[in-house]
Amino acid sequence: MAEAGRIILNTTFLPSLHSLHKTHRKVSYSQPFLHKRHPAIQCSISTSSDTKAAAKVSDTVPWGCDIDSVENAEALQKWLSDSGLPPQKMGIQKVEVGERGLVALKNIRKGEMLLFVPPSLVIDADSEWSCPEAGEVLKQYSVPDWPLLATYLISEASFEKSSRWSNYISALPRQPYSLLYWTRAELDTYLEASRIRERAIERITNVSGTYNDLRLRIFSKHPHLFPEEVFNMESFKWSFGILFSRLVRLPSMDERVALVPWADMLNHSCEVETFLDYDKSSKGVVFTTDRPYQPGEQVFISYGRKSNGELLLSYGFVPREGTNPSDSVELSLSLKKSDKCYKEKLEALKKHGLSASQCYPLQVTGWPLELMAYAYLAVSPPSMSRQFEEMAAAASNKTTTNKNIAYPDIEEQALQFILDSCESSISKYTKFLQASGSMDLDVTSPKQLNRRLFLKQLAVDLCNSESRILFRAQYVLRRRLRDIRSGELRGLKIFSGFRNFFG
């Protein structure tokens, strides 16, 4: 729920703690993060040699549940009701999409407000600690909300039944669904073709760096409050996995980030456009339905307009191919070092916060103007050096300059440059998919799968969806190049706004 309450992901989310003593506690990450966990996938962990790393996590983190069962969620529901959660029109049941989900118990109208989780049942930076001394220490160091909540979750989990949140923590997955739990070898093997691999590696590195900063600057100085057998890398990987997949930002509560028990049982649908927020009139966290539901129907919420890669990154699932209208793939473009004007072009890019290699999103419907501007710069000859600055500015999404630039004399070369980049990416996907063979496993019932097959199927699903977009872009680029070369489009401005393939 960034601005409108939706989830926004960005891998540069973890603030450095090198100057914790100067940072106000309410300062959050560079991008807001939201909601919930993956809707359906639970992977059984085998004990074969290729799953030892994952099995170690379950052995190291003693809290949470191995399986998203209805039973442990029902215990959570009872505790929430006893703690002040009002009667609901939804109940936890076993569902087709997901091990469990919230299902309508009564007729629900379009536009109806549901949930009403009171602030007393919301976990945020001001929540009371079972160990008040630990909370005071973190406040003294002005730890930002994300690492504060990650530490709080571990602390409360370690108190087990003594924590007021024990029922909630018991219902959380012991191994959250995210790429944090993929080993480097698994990322390299299964996601070599996708740019999400780099995003996952960066996220893992940032989580490790944040934990190490906390350990060196705080935990090591207060070992009686933060013993290493509890506050270690594995437990922080778990807590950050929970935050990535469940944390919400509530605009009406001053953009506060929080965990909302019960609400995070809602599963995701790409077709839904509804999100969580705090309602001041009812004094509870709610969401407004964008469609009616009949008794027995699963109620869904949106995790935001995310690509399949982003959904896999945080939630550990990939929607079926063609079902996600927000799907995209990142296309990498790079200046050629053999370019006579390489240094001049690189300087122009750096001036606008860009580098020699940039990634731009391709959607099945088109691509942004910034991509075309970068392509113009990449192919422009020395005679156009006066335009380098203009092209670099238009290639950056950090500037408000006119991006709708056109250079008819190098249009063909720019389009060919993009096409070459598409075909280079396609070759990587094709190589992986051909090596993987035909796979059509049901990852919504992964208890029947071992880890290797489970991850491989997810990777195949992602690569199929991303390569589909690249193939569509390839087709459009070839068609436009053919038209330009035949003289039909020469001199016309091809791109306007976010270029639609079908325009």
Contact 191, 199 (CB under 8 A): no
SS3 for 205? helix
**Amino acid in position 2:** A
SS3 for 31? coil
Using CA atoms, how far apart are residues 257 and 50, in angstroms rounded to an integer?
36
Using CA atoms, how far apart are residues 296 and 310, in angstroms rounded to an integer?
30
Using CA atoms, how far apart are residues 23 and 142, in angstroms rounded to an integer?
6
SS3 for 366? strand
Residue 181, annotated ligand binder? no
Separation in Å, CA 46 to CA 173, 185, 453: 17, 17, 11
- Among the listed residues 208, 459, 100, 186, the one whose alpha carbon sits nearest the alpha carbon of residue 312: 459
**Amino acid in position 127:** S
Give helix then strand counts, H and E, for the chain.
14, 13
Strand ranges for 175-281 from DSSP E? 248-250, 256-258, 267-268, 276-279
Contacts of 360 by beta carbon, 8 Å cutoff, 6+ apart: 330, 331, 333, 367, 368, 370, 371, 374
Own/partner pairs for 76-85, CB < 8 Å, 24+ apart? 76/167, 76/168, 76/170, 76/171, 76/261, 76/262, 77/262, 79/167, 79/168, 80/117, 80/121, 80/167, 80/261, 80/262, 83/120, 83/121, 84/118, 84/120, 84/121, 85/116, 85/117, 85/118, 85/121, 85/262
Size of the chain, expressed as the number of residues it contains: 503
Both tokens of 309, joined, read 């890669």
CA 246-250-251 angle, to 5 degrees, is 145
When computed from its CA atoms, the radius of gyration of the chain, rounded to whole angstroms, is: 24
Residue 315, annotated ligand binder? yes
Residue 268, annotated ligand binder? yes
CA 273-277-283 angle, to 5 degrees, is 140
Binding-site residue ranges for S-adenosyl-L-methionine: 246, 267-268
Binding-site residue ranges: 246, 264, 267-268, 278, 303, 315
Binding-site residue ranges for substrate: 246, 264, 278, 303, 315
